[in-house]
Amino acid sequence: METPAIPMPKDGREQQVLDKLTSIRDQLLLLKRDRTKYIRSQDVMGHYEQLVDLVKELNEIRKGDHEHVENRVDKVLESCFQLISLFFMTIGRTTDVPAAYALTSTVKRLLDHLTEAGLFSPKDLDSLANTLSKLDGILRGGDAQHSPYLVELLSKREALCKTMLAKLQQKLDQLDKPLQVTYEKLISIMRSMSLANTKPKFSVSEVTKLQANLKEIEASRVDGKIVDAEGNPYRGSDEVSDLLKRCLAWSEIVLDRKGAIPEAFQAKYDTLTSVRNDLEKLSITQAWSLRETDLYDFQRELDKIDESRINGNFIDDEGQPAELYVQRTLLYLIRRSYGYIYYLMNSSEPVSEALLPIYNQLQTLKRCLIEVKNSGGVSSVRELYPYVMKLTSIDNMRVDGKFMVGNDIPEGQGSISELLAECFDLNYELRVAADELENSKDNDEEEQGVKMSKE
């Protein structure tokens, strides 16, 4: 695992802490790569407790050091917490404070990029605001259970993220509401063009259609302004008009270059497209194939490329900055990939990976039962037999009310039991409705028979 070229600690005591941290990180990496067995809570908690003890030791060593310069210890410590955080997600402890570490790192990274680009939609900010609210609840509820160092660190990071988010929201609030719709559409078109630009086969027609949408917006302006029904310019018209110009200019560049990347930046481009594509696949199949610790390798790869920029620019081997087209293309891939990581972390279920197969089956059953209910139910109880048999087979897997794996009781028992109960309730509702329908049919047939006999 690569560690950035930063100084080694000068204090011999810190060197000892570094050796221990490196050992923990290596053990976590080995545990992450072992696919022969699921990750158990006791494996993770042992490493977490060792890490907390080392943090206490490090704080004692650095007490009174107000001029501390970040060294290798800080970087390895960060890697350890990042890994531990993803392990907590993997074992289903998604609402514990350590699980929040990786998510706050990703939120901070996304906000950095949104601030740098100055391009964001209301949906972007709403999603991040909801996530920060969720993290706030986790941190408030975990003060007594977890390391004060970790709680304080995450609280400061969360506060910083909230400040950054508020500044972005202020920029958005400067636009009149109707204009925000146009602004969001432009952001969507810009991203769609960037997506088309990074596909394996470039489609001229796809980008041309997007460009036509831009020209429609341009044609609707009056004297270069976006105006209301009375002809008065909206507040923020100039800003949105500038964005429109940027979008039109980008469409011309994309159509001219057709996805061609200079040789000097081809390796970075290939790495980033590979990461983006892998994360995209995981976002589709994550319920069945994702182990949250896998995200660590993706993050390290992205961080390494993102942090290799100098003054915000990508530099080739000769020290020359990338042209605008390359710069925007690489940044789009990085930001898109971080977005996928953010989505996958937010989608992490509060269930151990050992129980995910059962949890996913129940999720599928629930969706099927809801679909059956919404489409009018069943005509007879017999149609529910397959659902009943599957639910009963899952229910019978419990031992003393618990879903066991060997002698272990994995995390997420409450979530699975609750989901199983919801499925049984849906099945019961459908059965009652089917019984009533059958009884109604029997009564109708009986009445019809009596009527015919009288005739």
Element (H, E) at 47: helix 41-61
pTM over 0.85: yes
- pLDDT tens digits, one per residue of 10-37: 888 999 999 999 999 999 999 999 988 8
The encoded tokens of residue 425 equal: 């309730």
Give one DSSP letter per residue of 3-28, joined into a string.
Answer: --S-PPPSSHHHHHHHHHHHHHHHHH
Distance of alpha carbon 95 from alpha carbon 108, whole angstroms? 19
Instruction: Check if the beta carbon of residue 180 is closer than 8 Å to that of residue 124.
Output: no
Q: How far is CA 322 from CA 49, 217, 259, 302, 326, in A?
A: 45, 31, 15, 18, 6
For 182-203, what is the mean pLDDT? 96
Query: Exposure of 449 by Cβ count < 10 A (0-12 exposed, 13-18 middle, 19+ buried)?
Result: exposed
Dist. CA 34–CA 278, nearest whole Å: 20
pLDDT per position as a tens digit, 118-154: 999 999 999 999 999 999 999 987 666 788 888 888 9
Predicted confidence (pLDDT) at residue 450 exceeds the cutoff of 70: no
Mean pLDDT over all residues of the chain?
Answer: 91
CA dihedral 139, 144, 146, 150 (to 10 degrees): 50
Q: At 358, which helix (H) or strand (E)?
A: helix 356-374
Q: CA-to-CA distance for 201 and 389, rounded, in angstroms?
A: 47
Mean pLDDT confidence for 292-306:
95
Q: Residue 403 has what DSSP assignment?
A: E
Comparing CA positions, the residue from 134, 137, 146, 131 lying closest to residue 88 is 146
Exposed e or buried b for every residue in 182-216, given b needs 16+ CB within 10 A? bbbbbbebbbebbebbbeeebeeeebeebbebbee
